Amino acid sequence: MSIFGAMNIAGSGLVVNRKWMDAVSDNIANLNNVSSMNDKAYQARFVVARPNNYGNEGGALVAGHLWGNPEGRVVDMQGHPLADANGNVRVPDIDLASQMAQLMLAQRAYQANLSVVERSRSAYEAAIGIGK
């Protein structure tokens, strides 16, 4: 594999990891959203990644997104402005602990890919320096 191949693969990984972190950040930011029983709850977003040109230095790409349950969880919040006659509202069905674990995984993967890009760049610069 060439230096540029490694940089391209790691660069595509950076894009996937950034979009993964964005999705998790959105989920965490909307964790406490409240909806009326007539509306949908905030739907968690999950990134679907797949290999790009598998086996041929293609890297990875975001193939799409999956969405959480629009029904969410029904919670009793008596007195809330959006509560129905029974005092129920919808909240997203998002587990904070799971989202934090996902955020840490995405962050570590991002750091690993960034390290590959930086080391490939250093190797390329060293190779250019040999010819001087």
71 touches 90 (CB < 8 A): yes
Structure tokens that stand for 49 in this block: 């990644």
The verdict on residue 82 lying in a domain is yes
Instruction: Give the chain's domain count.
Output: 1
Q: Would you state the torsion angle of the CA atoms of residues 20, 22, 28, 29, taken in this order, to the nearest 10 degrees? A: -170
35 touches 72 (CB < 8 A): yes
The per-residue pLDDT for range 80-93, each reduced to its tens digit, is 999 999 999 999 99
Predicted pLDDT at 104: 97
Predicted pLDDT at 80: 94
Q: Would you state the torsion angle of the CA atoms of residues 95, 99, 101, 105, taken in this order, to the nearest 10 degrees? A: 160
pTM for this structure?
0.84
The verdict on residue 69 lying in a domain is yes
Predicted pLDDT at 120: 85
Amino acid at 106: A
The verdict on residue 132 lying in a domain is no
> What domain range includes position 36?
3-127
Q: Give the chain's residues under pLDDT 70.
A: 1, 55, 131-132
The verdict on residue 68 lying in a domain is yes
The verdict on residue 26 lying in a domain is yes
Predicted pLDDT at 131: 62
Q: How far is CA 29 from CA 80, 94, 100, in A?
A: 20, 11, 12
35 touches 80 (CB < 8 A): no
